[in-house]
Chains A and B, each alone.
Chain A
Amino acid sequence: AQSVAQPEDQVNVAEGNPLTVKCTYSVSGNPYLFWYVQYPNRGLQFLLKYITGDNLVKGSYGFEAEFNKSQTSFHLKKPSALVSDSALYFCAVRPLSNDYKLSFGAGTTVTVRA
């Protein structure tokens, strides 16, 4: 069975400071990993994904994530956070198989203060 853990319910940072949202996963074999963002009263927007290759993945809005197989982690990062980055962030995983089902973490609410 696959699962995702986002250990922090909330992350608070000041604008201009680095932002990190943590994600660890458990899956049989190699994973596909995803990050999504949800703004209030909106659907999920895709940020980035890891399929294979370079462990550092760059995505939308200046976000990046690093795949660490030994630590089974896929933390989301942004060097300089903006107030507009305040939202709910979800990490998701699916195994490298024909099963297309995504498993989502519980979500992390990011608040960036001016």
Chain B
Amino acid sequence: SAVISQKPSRDICQRGTSLTIQCQVDSQVTMMFWYRQQPGQSLTLIATANQGSEATYESGFVIDKFPISRPNLTFSTLTVSNMSPEDSSIYLCSVVPLTGYGYTFGSGTRLTVV
């Protein structure tokens, strides 16, 4: 299965600033997704990262707040912009390989906004 390197693993940020999270995969994948896991909650899909085009956002998430890039088949970034304490969550990258049905998740980025 694909191996994901997600960075940073954790960060503490000041409100009003932005943080960019990176997701690097060791093999080409078809789909890349970004999820948010708020404290004590389940995973919520933020968006699908599309190679070379704008990401597809789920209801309640907008590009201005969560800009996403995916320049190639193995790399994507998620930026959390103009952060507030409500953005404190774990953010996870997930991928679907070119073959198979499995979904692999990164180890997550634990973000605390103060």
Contacts and interface: CB of A to CB of B under 8 A. Distances in A.
Pair from one complex: yes
Interface of A: 32, 34, 36, 41-46, 49, 51, 90, 92, 100-102, 104-107
B31 to A, nearest CB: 5
22 contacts: A36-B105, A43-B92, A43-B106, A43-B108, A44-B105, A45-B105, A46-B103, A46-B104, A49-B102, A51-B101, A92-B103, A100-B30, A100-B31, A100-B33, A101-B33, A101-B45, A101-B48, A102-B103, A104-B43, A104-B44, A106-B41, A106-B42
A114 B74 CA distance: 43
Given A90-B42, A100-B96, A105-B42, A42 B101 contact: no
Contacts of B30: 100
Interface of B: 1, 6, 30-31, 33, 41-45, 48, 92, 94, 96, 101-108, 110
A49 B107 contact: no
Contacts of B103: 34, 46, 92, 102
A70 B113 CA distance: 46
A92 B33 CA distance: 15
Contacts, number: 47
Most buried by A among B42, B106, B107: B42
Nearest to B110: A41
Contacts of A43: 6, 92, 105-108
